[in-house]
Chain A
């Protein structure tokens, strides 16, 4: 199994630019999660989907952040416009209802906004 695949692995961008992070969940998984990791706040849940439908987006910090899941094998997290405080590692994760709630993480997208 290929696991959860995220791209890009690293991105450095200038303040004000649009950033798009991509995620391919494990095939057959029906839940997809986006987390953000920073030194100050640890791991924060941003949003999660079930069967491509957003279930809870209360963790999305502000309107500059948006996430979509157009199909079962692809999701994006977009930041527009980006700010230096958005610098973090963004993790995508997926799980399957019948997997006992075990969540599998991607390797993360390391974002630096300068």
Chain B
């Protein structure tokens, strides 16, 4: 079964700082990878996803993530964060086969101060 590990529980940054949130997964086969964001009091929204092809994927709001297969990693990055990026970020993995579900990491809370 697949599992996801997010290294940082809480990250605190000032506006304009660069962001990198770590995510590693455990699964021997082909996977689909996702980052979801949850703004305070809201539901989860898809930031970006990787299925195949270019390992560097770009998502909404200036976020991007790089899939490094040899490291089983899918880190999320943003060159310059804004106060409005304050939220909880979830990395998720799904085995690339029918009948499997999305498994989430425990999330990283990002706090951005203005």
By a beta-carbon cutoff of 8 Å, the part of chain A in contact with chain B is 31, 33, 35, 41-43, 45, 48, 50, 55-56, 91, 93, 97, 100-108
Contact = CB atoms under 8 A, between A and B. Distances in A.
A56 B2 CA distance: 14
Contacts of A97: 98
Main secondary structure of the interface of A (DSSP, over half): strand
Contacts, number: 53
A105 B102 CA distance: 12
B101 A106 contact: no
Interface stretch (B61-69, B72-80, B103-111): B103-111
Interface residues of B, number: 22
A95 B101 CA distance: 10
Given A55-B99, A102-B46, 19 more contacts: A31-B101, A33-B102, A42-B104, A42-B105, A42-B107, A43-B44, A43-B90, A43-B104, A43-B106, A50-B99, A91-B43, A93-B44, A100-B32, A101-B94, A101-B96, A103-B102, A105-B44, A107-B43, A108-B43
